[in-house]
Each structure stands twice: as structure tokens, then as C-alpha cells.
A and B are shown apart, each in its own frame.
Chain A
Amino acid sequence: MPKRHWKTKDILLSITAFLIISIVKSAAVIGVLLTAVAYSVWLERKVSAHIQNRWGPTRVGPFGLLQPLADGVKFIFKEDLTQPHVYKPLYIAAPIIAVVFAISSIAVIPFGNWVNIGPWGTYLQITDLNIGLLVVLGITSMGVYGVALAGWSSNNKYALLGGLRASAQMVSYEVSLGLSLVGVVIMAGSLSLRDIVDAQGGVFWGFIPRWNIFHGQTLAFFIYMISAYAETNRTPFDLPEAESELVAGYHTEYSAMKFAMFFMAEYANMVTVACIATLLFLGGWHGPIFGPPLLQAIMPVIWFCLKVFFFMFLYVWVRWTLPRFRYDQLMAFGWKVLLPLAVANVVYTALVVAWRA
């Protein structure tokens, strides 16, 4: 049966092509993400040093640029302690869970538009899903387990308190975080991140971009940013690892590469949050495009990266500006201020959209 034979071969070929393209894209994106994670640590150390009138890392390479590399080598060669009192299976699984969920949500993030490389073309995105935004929310909500299980399996009161605080805080702020995104979804009429960005093209009055932050979603943007800081356990919401009361919180008992995995998970989450803020509120890769053709081709990606960089810088800036909340303040703020504001924003956006329709 030659016909059937050819058909199977064609299918196999297309599956192989699909697999190769996907693997190349995933490897490239993960490589970029991990580099970004390493250099956000460098950025944080450098910016915080300058805010405090210090120099920060200067010894390893020019401007201390090779510091992340040195840190990585140090983490690999340090002794990996496992205390005898921990519950071993979960103690080992917890950092893996944290880092896997932190990295995998990058799969649905689009970095730019369609590009042509010779005869082939592809979207600058690993995969475009109809429910892209929900996938990101789902994966981040699973990331809580890494922190909670680390706290519990360490069998240490500081770690347990840190893990409990982290899970309570992340579950609480996830509600207002999710609701703050609903306004954007209503305006775009889609949950696909690509459609949401496409809906933000164009300008008002010739110069103000039609980004959602200038288009009725300013309040939602601030609710999202505040909840996102709480979701990623960053100052002023870093109670799960408040060093003045909990030693180091949920990762007290971790050392060497296992600690580094929590560290990586935190920064990867920060990058994801910055990407989502860029896509949903700052128009993704939209921006003025000029120059020679080659530059025009990569301009959207440059705009996207610049916006993400702005959010990463903001994280550090906020960290060295604001003091930490008290725990009851944190919970009261989340449930009594942010949640009603987010609900009000949803109702307001829905009414405006229905009025215009």
C-alpha cells in the first residue's frame, strides 16, 4: 500500500519538524530566561548598592558582570547539607517543584510578532493558546506548593511559619491578582495573550499609545502590580522570609544548589510577572518603529525587553524604598482594600464596554 505508506511518512515528517521547532524554541527561551534571572540578581545587587551609596559587585569582570557566573559556580561546589530531621522525599521535591512551575509559565508568553528567518517563519512564542492567560494563572497557583512543602518538610518552626505565611499570602493575593486582569480580558474579548496585545495597537490623538494602562485600566494596573509583589514574596510583602523574625523563612534549612533553586524560582517568577504586566497593560511589543529594515524587524522585541527591564528595575527600586508590612496589615490590605477595588474595576469596565457596544 504505497499511498498509506507515504501518508504515514508525511505525518512522521510533520511531527518531527514540529518537535524540532518546539525544542529549539523552548531551549532558546529557557536559555534567555535563565540568563535574565542571573542578571536580575546582578541588577538587584548593583542598583541596591547605588541606592545605598555603595559600589556593589566590582571584582569579577568589568562592573562585576561575571558575578552571576561566580555565584553559580559557588552554589554548585558548596556542601549540600540535608539535616537528619527533615522529611526527605518532600524536602528534595520542594525546590524542584518551585523552579519547574516558575520556569514553565514562560511557555505561553509572546515576545514579539511573526518573524521570517529565511524560508521559515514563526511567532516569537513557544505556543499560543486560546487560554494563555489562564495557563499562566494556573501554573503560578501551583507554584505555592514548592514554598509550602519546603516549609513543612524542613521540620523547623521558622521554616513552617514561613511556609504557612507564604501560602496564606499567595492564596489571598491571587484573588485580587486574577480579578485585576478581568478588566483587560473584557476589553480584548479574549484570553489569548497574543490577541490581548493586538487589541492595544494604535494611538489616541496621534501620540498617546492605546495601551490598557492609558485606556481605562490604570487602577487595574496598580492592583495587579501590588498583588504581583505579594505573589512573588517581594518587599514590602516579603513576610515569608522576614529575616528579622523568621531567620530565612521557608528556605532556612536549604543550602547550596537547593537554595539556589528557590532563588532562581523567585527571580523567574519576577520575570514572568513583569512579562504579564508588559503584555496586558503596556501594550507588549507595540512601540514606535523606525530605522533600516533589519532594525525594524527586531524593534518589537527590543520594546518588549525594555518594558520588562523597567518592571525589573521597579522591583529593586521598591524593595529599597518601602519598609515591610505587618502581617495583619498585609491580610487586611489584601482582602479589604485590593479585593473590593478589583471587583469595582471589573464592574466599571463591564459597564463601559456594554455601554459602547
Chain B
Amino acid sequence: MLHLILFLFFGLICVAGAINLLAQSHPINSALSLIVVMASLAALYLLLGAEFVAAVQVIVYAGAIMVLFVITIMLLNAGAEERTRGSRIATLIGVPGVVAGGTLVAWTLLRRPDRPAFAIGALKGGPSDIARLLFHDYLLPFEVTSVLILIAIMGAVVLASRPEAVARGPRKDGE
């Protein structure tokens, strides 16, 4: 009962934040709405019993990535965006697409007769469970993903540095 109330509460906050994200015209308000969405998602993960994922969601997404978003908006001093009426193709294809996708997901979920009924909090998501999956059962995919991220970081460094600085090597003091 309490779980259901909490689920509805955070679910509503999440959806309201997502709608507000689209409705706000100033980028910083949109960024803050996104933080609300991510924090309420973390609460939903916590209700499922995925403690570790919830904590990481807050630390990484709500805490670190969104701070970078906010810093960027502050640095660029981005003002309120102009309202346009949107493209006609987006309206023609987008709205039916969303409706079709939502119907498909709902239909698939409702149609499966053998869908497992988990009590909220019954799924194991503590740090040791996650660690066993990452470092034992799925070690190779995990390591390959980390190499992929390393390559992305190196790419970002190369793209961000000026070409002459790369050719000259590391900067000396006093330059």
C-alpha cells in the first residue's frame, strides 16, 4: 500500500517534470526539470530494490552530468528560446508514432500471460549482487564497454585540443 502510494507519487513527479522540461522556454528551467526527472527515477529504482542503481543514478546523472549541463548553460549565458510552431512533418509522423509505440508496449506487456509478478523490492539490486554480475557473469562485456568509454574519452581530448598544441606536445610553464 505504502509502496503503491510512493510509486504513484514519484511516477507523477517524474511525468510532470518531463512535461515541464518541454514546456519551459528557458534552458536552465528545462535543465532543472530534467534533474527532477532523474531524481524521481532514482526513487523509483529504490522502490524496485535496486539500491545501487538508484545511488549511481543520483551521483552520476543528477549530480555530475546535470551539473555539467547547468555549467554549460551558465557559461553560454543562453537566453529564453524562441517559440516556433514546429515542423509539419514532426506533427504528422511524430504524434501517430508515439501513440503507436505506446500502444505496442502496453499491448505486449498486458498480453503476456506468464508475466512474472514481482513484489516491489523483491528484485536483488544491492552492491554485491551488481558486483557479482559485472565482475563475474558479464566480465568480458563490462571490460569491452570500459575500453569503448576510454576510446571516447581520448577522442574527446583530441577533438577539444587545438591542433598546434597537439603537435607541440604538453604545455610548458610560462607559455
- Known contacts: A148-B70, A151-B74. The answer to whether A142 contacts B127 by CB under 8 A is no
Q: How far is the CA of A131 from the CA of B129 in the complex (A)?
A: 13
Q: Is there a chain A Cβ closer than 8 Å to B55's Cβ?
A: yes
Is B74 touching A164 in the complex (CB atoms < 8 A)? yes
Contact string against B for A residues 149-168, beta-carbon threshold 8 Å, 1 for contact and 0 otherwise? 10110000000100110011
Is A163 touching B74 in the complex (CB atoms < 8 A)? yes
Q: Is there a chain B Cβ closer than 8 Å to A145's Cβ?
A: yes
Is B70 touching A141 in the complex (CB atoms < 8 A)? no
Q: Is there a chain B Cβ closer than 8 Å to A73's Cβ?
A: no
Q: Is there a chain B Cβ closer than 8 Å to A135's Cβ?
A: yes
Is A141 touching B28 in the complex (CB atoms < 8 A)? no
Q: Is there a chain A Cβ closer than 8 Å to B59's Cβ?
A: yes
Nearest Cβ distance between residue A35 and chain B, in whole angstroms?
29
Which of A130, A134, A151, A191 is within 8 Å of B59, CB to CB? A134
Is B74 touching A191 in the complex (CB atoms < 8 A)? no
Is B51 touching A129 in the complex (CB atoms < 8 A)? yes
Q: Is there a chain A Cβ closer than 8 Å to B63's Cβ?
A: yes
Is A141 touching B74 in the complex (CB atoms < 8 A)? no
- Known contacts: A134-B55, A135-B55, A145-B35. The answer to whether A168 contacts B71 by CB under 8 A is yes
Contact string against A for B residues 46-90, beta-carbon threshold 8 Å, 1 for contact and 0 otherwise? 000001100110110011100110110011000000000000000
Contact string against A for B residues 1-43, beta-carbon threshold 8 Å, 1 for contact and 0 otherwise? 0100000000000000000000000001000100100010000
A sample of 11 cross-chain residue pairs with beta-carbon separation below 8 angstroms, ordered by A number, consists of A138-B59, A141-B63, A142-B58, A142-B62, A149-B32, A149-B70, A151-B74, A163-B74, A164-B75, A167-B71, A171-B68
Q: Nearest chain-A residue to B73 (Cβ)?
A: A152
Contact string against B for A residues 168-205, beta-carbon threshold 8 Å, 1 for contact and 0 otherwise? 10110010001000000000000100000000000000
Q: Please give, as numbers and ranges, the residues of chain A lying within 8 Å of B2 by CB-CB distance.
A: 15
Number of A residues contacting the other chain (C-beta, 8 Å)?
28
Q: How far is the CA of A270 from the CA of B98 in the complex (A)?
A: 48
Q: Please give, as numbers and ranges, the residues of chain A lying within 8 Å of B75 by CB-CB distance.
A: 164
Q: Please give, as numbers and ranges, the residues of chain B lying within 8 Å of A141 by CB-CB distance.
A: 58-59, 62-64, 67
Q: Please give, as numbers and ranges, the residues of chain B lying within 8 Å of A135 by CB-CB distance.
A: 55
Q: Please give, as numbers and ranges, the residues of chain B lying within 8 Å of A145 by CB-CB distance.
A: 35, 67, 70
Is A138 touching B55 in the complex (CB atoms < 8 A)? yes
Nearest Cβ distance between residue B41 and chain A, in whole angstroms?
13
Known contacts A130-B127, A138-B59, A138-B63; can you find 17 more A-B pairs with CB under 8 A?
A: A131-B55, A134-B56, A134-B127, A138-B55, A138-B62, A139-B58, A141-B59, A141-B62, A141-B67, A142-B58, A142-B62, A142-B63, A145-B70, A148-B70, A167-B70, A171-B68, A174-B64
Q: Please give, as numbers and ranges, the residues of chain A lying within 8 Å of B71 by CB-CB distance.
A: 148, 164, 167-168, 171
Q: Is there a chain A Cβ closer than 8 Å to B126's Cβ?
A: yes
- Known contacts: A138-B59, A141-B59. The answer to whether A171 contacts B70 by CB under 8 A is no
Is A171 touching B64 in the complex (CB atoms < 8 A)? yes
Nearest Cβ distance between residue B63 and chain A, in whole angstroms?
3
Contact string against B for A residues 97-129, beta-carbon threshold 8 Å, 1 for contact and 0 otherwise? 000000000000000000000000000000001
Q: Among B52, B56, B58, B126, which residue has the most Cβ atoms of chain A within 10 A?
A: B58
Q: Among B62, B63, B127, which residue has the most Cβ atoms of chain A within 10 A?
A: B63
Which of A90, A138, A171 is within 8 Å of B67, CB to CB? A171
Nearest Cβ distance between residue B72 and chain A, in whole angstroms?
11
Nearest Cβ distance between residue B90 and chain A, in whole angstroms?
30
Q: How far is the CA of A131 from the CA of B51 in the complex (A)?
A: 7
Q: Nearest chain-B residue to A191 (Cβ)?
A: B127
Q: Nearest chain-B residue to A141 (Cβ)?
A: B63
Q: Is there a chain B Cβ closer than 8 Å to A213's Cβ?
A: no
Q: How far is the CA of A144 from the CA of B59 in the complex (A)?
A: 12
Nearest Cβ distance between residue B2 and chain A, in whole angstroms?
8
Nearest Cβ distance between residue B64 and chain A, in whole angstroms?
6
Instruction: List the 5 shortest-distance A-B pairs measured between CB atoms, nearest first.
Output: A141-B63, A134-B55, A138-B58, A138-B59, A152-B74
Q: Please give, as numbers and ranges, the residues of chain B lying within 8 Å of A137 by CB-CB distance.
A: 55, 59
Is A152 touching B52 in the complex (CB atoms < 8 A)? no
Which of A134, A139, A148, A170 is within 8 Å of B74, CB to CB? A148
Q: How far is the CA of A90 from the CA of B30 in the complex (A)?
A: 13
